[in-house]
Amino acid sequence: IFFREALVTTIMSDQMRDSASVETQRAHFWRAPLDFVVLAISVAVVTGLVLRPSAHGSLSSLHLSSSAASSVQTAPSAPIWAATVPRVVRPARTPGHDWQHHKAQHAAGFATAAQTFAADRGAYGETSKRWAALIVFPCAVVAGYLFGRHGASQTATATPDLPLIMAATTAAQDEEEDEFKDRDEMGLMPKTENTKTEAEATKLYLKLLLGRLPVIGQVFAWATYFLMTLVADQKALYDAKFAILHQYQLGYVYLAVVFLTIARKLLIINANGARAPARVDRPDQHIYKIMASDGSLKDAPNVLMATTGAAGRFNRAQRAVFNMDETLPLVLANTFLAGAIFGPVVAGLAFLVAYGRVKFGKGYKVSNAGRGKGLLIAFLTEAWIEGLVVLCTVKALFHPWISF
């Protein structure tokens, strides 16, 4: 929800940022990200503490176990626990009380409690420390920096003359852009020798969506699995989860989502194959025609989106929102299923998807060509998550016969 709203709020941000002075941007650049980075580091540290398993009985633990099948009984248990946070009692402040002495006592009490807490934490295994530092901390710091920078650019644009600057910028853009460039008399892209047939375009998207991206997703997925099992020592935990999926036939739920994902890709291939001979450029998704059998409107041009000036920027930015909305149901389904097994890994991947989508929206608002980098990040990461779901499907359905 946060990332989707961030995408919506960037519809007019580029004009504001471009109008801000360099000095104002520099002044705010270091202040806003600092708060986000500090927050990100705090989140990373706390998350790392929460994710470390308990090594002694003083902390409460909850173990995954089952008596229904031997495969689950023999699987190592996966601890999920909550640490006891030390509490320091603060004496009430009274008139005439030596407040400096009180602060010294309070600091000493906090230090004692912190030392006790740290001593209790000393027995935890090194395994979770490695993968917590490997995944949670970098993602949190990167998130803090990127959105701190975004917040700085938003803050730096709050100038008194903003409406006048935006109006001048929009007027200049309207003068520079040619609304009818690369269009024929009907408003469509002109037909040239490079115009693809439906069969050629269909073949192109078939190779991309059901060829290259799934292969890349599988490479990333299995690399992630072996990295987490060998480096982060998570194999026992994964085996316990896959055993539960196999026991309760939940692998078929994963398989169902894989089928639905493939179905949507086939529909996208079908639509994009038909787009090429229709010569409809983006962001248009439809061609509207005035239905007149005779009269002056019989041969009227098609009704299409405005693509220049402020209206064009808005249309492209809005199309970026709709594009995310269209993919979100299956992205969420794949995220939930992959996250049930790979937890923090999928959280990091979801951040990359969100970052790519926001970058895609901001670039798309500027021009059609500007959407490429963000869309590439989103596509690759979504394929990565889909690859994890396929991996989980195979492991869940054939768990007793797959030892690695």
C-alpha–C-alpha distance, residues 356 and 73, integer Å: 42
Instruction: Tokens for 90, please give them.
Output: 């603060």
Choose the CATH number for 182-404 among 3.30.70.260, 3.40.50.10860, 1.20.120.550, 3.40.50.2000: 1.20.120.550
Radius of gyration of the chain (CA): 28
The partner residues of 288 in beta bridges, in order of sequence, read 303
C-alpha–C-alpha distance, residues 172 and 166, integer Å: 10
The partner residues of 62 in beta bridges, in order of sequence, read 80
CA atoms within 13 A on the CB side of 2: 6
Instruction: Tokens for 32, please give them.
Output: 């806003």
C-alpha–C-alpha distance, residues 283 and 252, integer Å: 37
The per-residue b/e assignment along 356-369, b for 16 or more CB within 10 angstroms, e otherwise, is: bbbbbbbbbbeeee
pTM of the predicted model as reported, rounded to 2 decimal places? 0.60
Dihedral through CA 236, CA 239, CA 241, CA 246, nearest 10?
-160
Q: Which of 246, 393, 375, 374 is CA-nearest to residue 333?
A: 393
C-alpha–C-alpha distance, residues 278 and 272, integer Å: 10
Per-residue pLDDT of the chain (404 residues; tens, 9 = 90+): 444 444 545 444 444 444 444 444 444 444 444 445 555 565 555 555 545 444 344 433 333 333 333 333 333 433 434 444 444 455 555 555 555 565 556 555 555 554 554 444 444 444 444 544 455 545 555 555 555 555 545 444 444 444 443 444 444 454 567 778 888 888 899 888 889 999 999 999 999 999 999 999 999 999 999 999 988 779 999 999 999 999 999 999 999 999 999 999 999 999 999 999 999 999 999 999 999 988 888 889 999 999 999 999 999 999 999 999 999 999 999 999 999 999 999 999 999 999 999 999 999 999 999 999 999 999 999 999 999 999 999 999 999 898 88
- Residue spans of the domains in the chain: they are 182-404
Question: To the nearest 5 percent, what fractions of the chain are helix, strand and coil?
Answer: 70, 0, 30
The per-residue b/e assignment along 266-277, b for 16 or more CB within 10 angstroms, e otherwise, is: eebbeebbebbe
User: Could you tell me if residue 84 is left (phi over 0), alpha (psi between -120 and 50 degrees) or otherwise beta?
Assistant: beta
